[in-house]
Amino acid sequence: MSPAVRNLGIFAVALAALFGLAVVAGRLLDPDAPDGEAAADHSNRHPKEMEDMTSEHVRGLAVAENGLRLVIEDPEVRRGAAGELRFRIVDREGRAVRDFDVEHTKRMHVIVVRRDLTEFQHLHAAMGPDGTWSTPLRLPDGGSYRVFADFSHEGRPTTLAGDLRVDGAVNLQALPAPQPVATSDGGYHVRLAAGAARPGRETTLRFTVTRSGRPVDVEPYLGAGGHLVALREGDLAFLHIHPVEQANGDSIAFAATFPTEGKYRLFLQFRVAGRVQTVAFTHEALGGR
């Protein structure tokens, strides 16, 4: 074989290998390429999440899932300024989705939390004719915030998540130690009663509300006794929680399955005398099944 022919063969092999690498890179970088969404969805997985990637109890770890994508119009937010959060849910072709199912009396639930889980807002956005959702938003402290769009489309519950960046100094705080009693923003005392939480096992979380030592009757809120959001420390995995009963005096109960061991932050909202109260707990799931 002549040197020219041999060199041509080497060049062809190198070119084919380079093309193969380009295809792989394209799939990793372009979520719209074939199989690209799966790669994008797992890019920010918590190490423990590899154990429960198929669990229906964990959502909100990616910006795209179930063929849908969250697009935030402007992720840069001025600290303390009255602003507006605007976003769309788009399909694989980039078209805005407009048909959403009603869940907990709403078609869209928006949760905004700071990465250290010290700040929490539950917002109810309105959708415009072009499919853009909007809601007023004010974030008082600097840092990175996680936005969760929680909804159901064509009967399939989905939670997509993206980030907001707020200017200013950041004073990150450690998650508080678990305590059985916490005080809501309106001064109500809430007690959490729960058995030992084990990964993969459903457990009942029961909250009772009192004020000055006396039971307080809660009113229905979002079609149940209350609304509970559970987020895992670290990756902020969003847990799917089921209310197990309607408002029943001073008691509110939920069924939760914690997918892995570790600490979780529980944000409970309930209504008394027409006003929504918010209270937060740290809850730990112990190792072993």
- What is the domain extent for residue 149? 63-166
Average pLDDT for the chain: 84
Model pLDDT, residue 56? 58
Q: Is the pLDDT of residue 21 over 60?
A: no
Q: Is residue 89 part of a domain?
A: yes
Q: Is residue 117 part of a domain?
A: yes
Q: Is residue 41 part of a domain?
A: no
Q: Is residue 135 part of a domain?
A: yes
226 with 281, same domain: the answer is: yes
* CA trace torsion 192, 195, 200, 202 (10° rounding): -70
151 with 218, same domain: the answer is: no
- 55 residue type, one letter: S
Q: Is residue 133 part of a domain?
A: yes
CATH number of the domain where residue 243 is located: 2.60.40.3340
71 with 103, same domain: the answer is: yes
Model pLDDT, residue 248? 67
Q: Which of 47-51, 133-137, 247-251 has the highest mean pLDDT?
A: 133-137
185 with 279, same domain: the answer is: yes
This prediction's pTM: 0.80
Q: Is residue 173 part of a domain?
A: no
252 with 277, same domain: the answer is: yes
Based on the structure, what is the number of domains in the chain? Answer: 3
Per-residue pLDDT reduced to its tens digit, 65-116 = 999 999 999 999 999 999 999 999 999 999 999 999 999 899 999 999 999 9
147 with 191, same domain: the answer is: no
Percentage of the chain with pLDDT > 70? 78
Cα distance from N-terminal residue to C-terminal residue, the chain? 66
Long-range Cβ pairs for the range 62-66 (8 Å, 24+): 62/160, 62/161, 63/160, 63/161, 63/162, 64/31, 64/37, 64/40, 64/160, 65/37, 65/41, 65/158, 65/159, 65/160, 66/153, 66/156, 66/158
**Of 103, 135, 166, which residue sits at a domain end?**
166
15 with 84, same domain: the answer is: no
Q: Is residue 58 part of a domain?
A: no
CATH number of the domain where residue 119 is located: 2.60.40.1930
